[in-house]
Amino acid sequence: MGDPAGIGGEIILKALPLLLLSKKSLPVIIGDYSIINAHLRNHAIQIQKPNFKGFMEGQNSDVEFMDAGLLKDSRFGIIDPLYGQASYHYIIEALKLVFLGEASAIVTCPISKASLQRAGISFPGHTEILAHFGGVTDYIMMMANRSMRVSLVTIHIPLKEVPEKITAERVFKCITITHHSLKAYWDIGNPYIKVCGLNPHAGEQGIIGSEEDAIRGAINRAKSIGIRAEGPFPADTLFHSADCDAYVAMYHDQGLIPVKTMDFRKTVNITLGLPFVRTSPGHGTGFDIAGKGIADPSGLIEAYRTAEEMCIKTS
C-alpha cells in the first residue's frame, strides 16, 4: 500500500478491476484495511467492492488482503512517524511472502521518506530497504516505460555528492546489471546501451571536468566482455531519439527527466539486481491530492503488469 497517508490505497482500488481481468496472477494487498475502507467511503471512488477476505479466512476471493491492523483511523496528506512505521511494516511483510515462496514479485506504492525517517528508520527509501534484506549491494534503479528505459548510477543523494560517486567500478556495475536484466526480463539477445557523460558536452575532452575518464574506462571494460555499450554522450542531446535498448544516466534527475517527460503516467520504477522482481509506479505519494478520489492509477497498473511480464520471462 505504501504510505497510508498517500494515494496508495486509492490507486490500488481503482487499479484492481483492470488487474483482475488478465487472470495471470492473484494480487495480495498488504496494508491497513481501515485505509481501504476510508477510500471506499469516498464517494469519488465508484467501484464494486472486491471480496478481500480470502487470505485471512481461507476463502476463495478475487483479491487476498493482509491487514496489518496498525491504524484505526485515516488521515491523508500528512507526514507522520506512525504512517512511516506502517509503510515499513508493509514492506517487511511483502519480503516475507517473497522469501517464503508465497509471492512472485513485490509491487510497491509510493512511501514518504520523511515519515520513514521520523519513524526512526534510517533507509532512504524502498530500494535501499529491499536491497538490504535481499542481501545485495549491487543493485540499480531503472525507470522504464514503453518508449524508454533509463538506469541510474547514483540515486537518492545530494547533487554535490554525485561527482565523487562516479567511479569506473560503479558505472561498470550499472552497465552490466542493466545488460543482464535486459536479456533476462525483456528477452533482448544483444542489448545496446548508451551511456551519459556527467558534465556538459560530456566533459569536452577534459575541458569541462574529468569524470568522463572513469565513465569511458567503464564502457571500455564492458566492451571487453562483449557488452554493446557506447559513450559517454552529452546528456542534453542523447534522449531526443530513443534508439537503444537502455540508457545509463549518472544521477537521478539527468535520467528521470527525459523518461518521465516521455510518458509520465506509465513510467515504472524497477529495481534491478535484487533476488526477486520489484516494481513501483514512477510517481510519489501525491499528498496534495490524497483522499480526494482523483488519483490516476495508470502508473500502478503499468507497474503491476511489468512485474507480471518480468516473472513470466524468468519462470
pLDDT of residue 46: 53
Helices (H), 23-103: 33-41, 54-57, 81-99
Please list, residue by residue across 85-107, b when 16 or more beta carbons sit within 10 angstroms of its beta carbon and e when fewer do: bbbbbbbeebbebbeeeebbbbb
**What DSSP element (H or E) covers 115?**
helix 113-118
Angle, in degrees to the nearest 10, between helices 168-186 and 211-224: 40
Cβ atoms 281, 269 nearer than 8 A: yes
Same fold, 1-135+274-315 and 137-265: yes
What pLDDT digit, counting tens, does each position of 194-229 carry?
Answer: 999 999 988 677 778 789 999 999 999 999 999 999
What pLDDT digit, counting tens, does each position of 24-44 carry?
Answer: 888 999 999 899 888 888 755
Residue 221 amino acid letter: R
Return the domain boundaries, the chain.
Answer: 1-135+274-315, 137-265
Q: Which three cell numbers stand for residue 235?
A: 546528456
**What value does the mean pLDDT take over residues 129-155?**
94
Q: Which three cell numbers stand for residue 117?
A: 525517517
Prior bond of 81 cis (ω within 30°): no
Length of the chain: 315
**DSSP three-state, residue 192:** strand
Angle, in degrees to the nearest 10, between helices 298-314 and 168-186: 80
Q: According to the CATH classification, is domain 137-265 in 3.40.718.10?
A: yes
Architecture of domain 1-135+274-315: 3-Layer(aba) Sandwich (3.40)
What pLDDT digit, counting tens, does each position of 61-94 carry?
Answer: 567 889 999 998 899 999 999 999 999 999 999 9
The pTM assigned to this predicted structure is 0.89
**What value does the mean pLDDT take over residues 124-145?**
92
